[in-house]
Amino acid sequence: MPQAHIADATSANTAANTAAHTTDATHHYRICPLCEACCGLDVEVSSGRIVRIKGAEQDVFSQGYICPKGYALKDLHEDPDRLRQPMVKRNGQHVPVSWEEAFEEIERRLPPLLDEHGRDSVAISLGNPNVHKMGLLLYTPRLIKALGTKNVVSASTLDQMPKQLSSGLMFGHWLSIPVPDIERCDFLLMLGANPMASNGSLWTVPDFRGKAKALRARGGRLVVIDPRRTETAEVADAHHFIRPGTDAQLLAAMVHTLFDEQLVKLGALTDWVNGVEEVRAAVAPFSPEAVAKHCAVPAADIRQLARDLAAAERGCVYGRIGTCTQRFGTLASWLIDVLNVLTGHLDQPGGAMFPRPAAFAANTLGAAGKGRGVVMGRHASRVSGAPEVYGELPATVLAEEIETAGPGQVRALITVASNPVLSAPGSTRLDAALGQLDFMVSVDIYLNETTRHADVILPGSSPLEDGHYDVAFPALSHRNHARYSPPVLARTHGQMPEWQILLKLGAIARGLGAAADPLALDGEHLKADLDKLAGAHAPALLAALGTQAGPERWLDLALRSGPYGDAFGRQPGGLTLAKVAAAPGGVDLGALQPRVPEVLRTPSGRIELAPAPCLADLVLAAEAINTAARTADHTAPDIAKPGRFSLIGRREVRSNNSWMHNLPTLAKGPFRCTLLMHPSDAEKLGAADGQVVRIRLAGHAERRDIEVPVAFSEAMMPGVVSLPHGWGHNLPGTQMQVAAERPGANLNAVLDEALRDPLSGNAVLSGVAVDITVLGTAAVA
């Protein structure tokens, strides 16, 4: 790619040494890889050093917006703890080695395990940053294929798998997820999401605050349903508390109300929906009056929410992680879109719409309007029989698959940008299990809580050293766009691009050896794919794509053969990578347009409103209304018991899951790993503001407790407490100096890995019952 854009990083050291202030500043456009808002940034570089980062005004999509995390890219790039050289564990200590040595070590140890114990003896764990780097996202499927293992886990089953499953069942593809068309919406109902802190998720919407403000300024309404009166609730017109984990019942009652009060209106979708009558029958038990106590939302409020949604000219329901990480996560995700369909808001301007990405979107490929749909359960996990969903097993089966002897036992692990020791529930157990592995490789940028177990760590590059195109997020964007940013700085320390690391690992797993040439492998893969795609035309396409291996060549192929592409000359003026890269701030592809039926990939060619797995689980959700109070189910806490609470999570602007606590810009300021509790609860408990308490999983004695300071908050629903995840940076053998100064405690050490949504395999991370006791310790600052 445009090498001329790459600032010379060798002069970086010189500049650092002389600290000279030169006037050779250059401005570089970079898409921020730190969260799903995908803002365009303007990175000012002088003498190879980053001088300043601001929002890129010319960005056609984010238009200059930036949040405090965006500035932290500088800290990330300069972080002395960020690994630049491979590490191998020798006598329990990580020591830097050359790339050759690192790959030789892997070749020495991985293939013999595969030969002796079979392909499933290696597991792979993929973490969140994979989706923010095209070199990772485009090449991990190659690595998975080369490994040939069924033991594939990722952050998806700690996050959005329920939404992917419900979307797959309804619309025919795992990635056909409708998003709020916020710029034209006038009634937005939001559950279990806090975009004011998270900047949006499964919804790429830079500057949510500004867009919410504009919505209200034009007379629209924003209503939030959340057990905490969040920062988003603060900027909304109305907020309703809900008892954690009961969204499915609440949403079912709203659907019930639509039928009960004759508010169903399919509108433009009339000819494209199957299963309306089945849904009517299935929600019969869920009258608002029947669920009100269970959800802790008055029946009158539930009815009014349904009426407001139905009455809105341009309305939309949106739910996010709070609605996914619960026992009935798939149901809640499904019912959100059932509401959108039954009120005529799905696929309509101002409603829940399907983006049309310029590249890589499965729902723009193949025959329009019909497909194979999705299947799950093609295999199951060995120990607890959890079904495969979208090619993955639940992240929470990893520990038991490592611990349990027998054929197929996991003996080796590859992690790619994944920190499950902090991010997966039951983390103390998982931490111990990782210590038992015969071999572990991590592709990561830190020596952290997870990678400290790795025998070999292969460092990923700084995002500023990679070119970037968002492979996934245009499919979730509130507006269509295509943007590419070239590398800002050159690689240093002989560092290898991550796509090449993944190809090398795959080559070793396939028995091709550590010396295999990733560039040649990439060429072979491309040729094979083109032969399949274009047959006799393949050689001409290959020639048109150029000779430089890597993600950019795949991107050019995807853009040119995509819905706005130049079709290799057959659509003159259409998109190519060169064209996208040359456009300052990217190419705007306009507001979202209705896509039904063309977007559908269901076998029927219609929206399946009543998928059988959802109807079956809905019966259990109805039973839960009556039994919850009596069972010892962790997700249905008996909050009448003194000291028992329902525990939920939260996100904060200056933090990002588990790995940005080492960046000084973000780490400074008030301590964030605090337990929010309503003052009336604290009073009953006898806890003072700032006092340390012990949180323990209800009914458990050992290895399930942490100690954290309480912070009083009137915003909490009584009986519910909130703690962020991703903390607990006090484990030995890590190298994250800033994070270790204020380590916090790991929420996932308390949470229970056995709690899952059985349909999607997603972990239950919210509404878990805990017992809290006050410790004698004095308050901490």
Ligand X SMILES: Nc1nc2c(c(=O)[nH]1)N[C@H]1C(S)=C(S)[C@@H](COP(=O)(O)OP(=O)(O)OC[C@H]3O[C@@H](n4cnc5c(=O)[nH]c(N)nc54)[C@H](O)[C@@H]3O)O[C@H]1N2
Q: Please tell me whether residue 725 binds ligand X under the rule CB under 6 A.
A: yes
Q: Given the rule CB under 5 A, which of 153-161, 165-173, 231-239, 582-590 is the region that contacts Mo ion? A: 153-161
* Least distance between ligand SF4 and beta carbon 655 (Å): 11
CB of 198 to ligand SF4, least distance (A): 9
Nearer to Mo ion by C-beta: 330 or 480?
330
Residue 165 corresponds to which tokens in the numbers above? 């499953």
Asked if 159 is part of the footprint of Mo ion (rule: CB under 5 A), the reply reads: yes
**Per-residue x/- track, 388-417, ligand X (CB under 6 A):** ----------------------------xx
Q: Which two tokens stand for residue 134?
A: 């095209």
Site for ligand X in 344-383 (CB under 6 A): none
Calculate the CA 471 to chain-centre distance: 14
Integer CA distances (angstroms), 37 to 40, 357, 419, in order? 9, 15, 22
**Nearer to ligand SF4 among residue 197 and residue 685 (C-beta):** 197
Residues found near ligand SF4 in the complex (CB under 6 A): 32, 34-35, 37-39, 66-67, 69-70, 199, 206
**CA–CA gap between residue 81 and residue 470 (Å, rounded):** 27
Show the binding pattern over residues 648-667: x = contacts ligand X (CB under 6 A), - = does not. xxxxxx-xxxxx--------
> Sign of torsion, CA 271 272 274 278?
negative
Site for ligand X in 746-775 (CB under 6 A): 747-748, 751, 765-767
Burial class of 134 by CB neighbour count within 10 A (0 to 12, 13 to 18, 19+): buried
Q: Work out how close the CB of 157 gets to ligand SF4 at its nearest, in angstroms, rounded to a whole number.
A: 23
Restricted to residues 593-652, the positions that interact with ligand X (CB under 6 A) are: 648-652
> How far is C-alpha 747 from the chain's CA centre?
18
Contact partner, 747, from ligand X, ligand SF4, Mo ion, none, Cβ < 5-8 Å per class: ligand X
Strands 315-319 and 187-191: parallel
To the nearest whole angstrom, how small is the minimum distance from the Cβ of residue 379 to Mo ion?
25
Please give the helix or strand (H or E) that residue 681 lies within, else none: helix 679-685
The kind and range of the H/E element at 590 are strand 587-591
Nearest position to ligand SF4, beta carbon = 70
Q: What is the DSSP letter of 482?
A: E
Residue of 713, 655, 578 whose CA lies nearest to 227: 713
197 touches ligand X (CB under 6 A): yes
**262, burial (CB in 10 Å: exposed 0-12, middle 13-18, buried 19+):** exposed
- Contact between 633 and 704 under an 8 Å Cβ cutoff? The reply is no
Within positions 444 to 463, which residues make up the interface with ligand X, using CB under 6 A? Answer: 444-446, 448, 450, 460, 463
Binding partner selected for residue 430 from Mo ion, ligand X, ligand SF4, none, CB under the kind-specific 5 to 8 Å limit: none
Closest CA relative to residue 135, chosen from 443, 372, 511: 443
**337 touching Mo ion, by CB under 5 A:** no
Smallest distance, Å, CB 109 to ligand X?
20
User: Counting runs of H as helices and runs of E as strands, what totals does the chain give?
Assistant: 27, 28
Residues contacting ligand X: total by CB under 6 A: 67
Nearest distance, CB of residue 472 and ligand SF4, angstroms: 13
- By CB under 6 A, residue 497 contacts ligand X: no
Q: Residue 89: enclosing H or E segment and its boundaries? A: strand 87-90
Rounded Cα distance, 481 and 478, in Å:
9
Backbone angles phi, psi at 76, to 5 degrees: -65, -45
Tokens of 374: 């999705």
User: Which helix H or strand E contains 416, and what residues bound it?
Assistant: strand 412-416
Stretch that binds ligand X, among 90-98, 192-200, 286-294, 295-303 (CB under 6 A): 192-200
Q: Is the Cβ of residue 602 or residue 766 nearer to ligand X in the bound state?
A: 766
Binding site for Mo ion (CB under 5 A): 159
Binding site for ligand X (CB under 6 A): 35-36, 127-129, 133, 155, 158-159, 191-195, 197-199, 201, 225-228, 230, 242, 244-245, 247, 320-323, 326, 416-420, 422-423, 443-446, 448, 450, 460, 463, 498, 648-653, 655-659, 725-726, 747-748, 751, 765-767
